[in-house]
Amino acid sequence: MQPSGTFHRHNEPYPTATPAVFLDRDGVLVEETGYLHTIQDAILISDAPHAIRRLNQRHIPAVIITNQAGIARGYYTWEDFHLVQTHIERQFQNHGALFDGIWACAHHPQGAGPLASHHPFRKPNPGMILDAASKLNLDLSRSWLIGDKTIDIKAALNASLAGAILVRTGYGKSMEDEVHALASSPTSIHVCDTLAAAVTVILHHLGYNE
């Protein structure tokens, strides 16, 4: 069982500061089901493995950052989370796609007990991004984030990332107006239909011509 309200697992740090792509999980990598907590409901979004594999091929770190408020609300446990997360990563591995790290935050202001807080790791706070940058040696000034909620995009802004992309999967379509209102930020903000399209945008900005 997870003893605290946060979790992370990651590879060894990169030898030189490297731009990364941060990814929300539910609604971006797997179908949004509402407080995902069973492996039966963990269904990969069709283009997600190929998109992550493209990042892998260019040695661009792919890092999952996910709020898991369902734990604070008592809907499921850390054990449930770990079972689902392991299952998701194995499915990606079966498609030749790997992640450099996973960060999760269970805190929520309306949760129970010690998890009832707006923890620095909980998006839209940038804590998970900043911690990942520290542990993996990531260059945030050239890094991007892909999410399906306004809080994802705000987390990218709060971490001063180069860019953020809202995908129209998951909750993305319903969040477009809110995200467009953030467009005056120094962080470059885009909206894409799919994760594959978002990765294409990022690779272009990082200088990869495809």
Active site residues: 24, 26
Identify the DSSP state of 142. Answer: G
DSSP-H helix ranges across the chain? 48-57, 69-72, 78-94, 127-136, 150-158, 172-180, 195-205
57, burial (CB in 10 Å: exposed 0-12, middle 13-18, buried 19+): exposed
The residues, any chain, with a CB within 8 Å of residue 183's CB and separated by 6 or more, are: 189
Nearest to 88 by CA among 16, 50, 36: 36
Total residues found in the chain within this entry: 210
**In whole angstroms, what is the distance from residue 171 CA to residue 204 CA?**
25
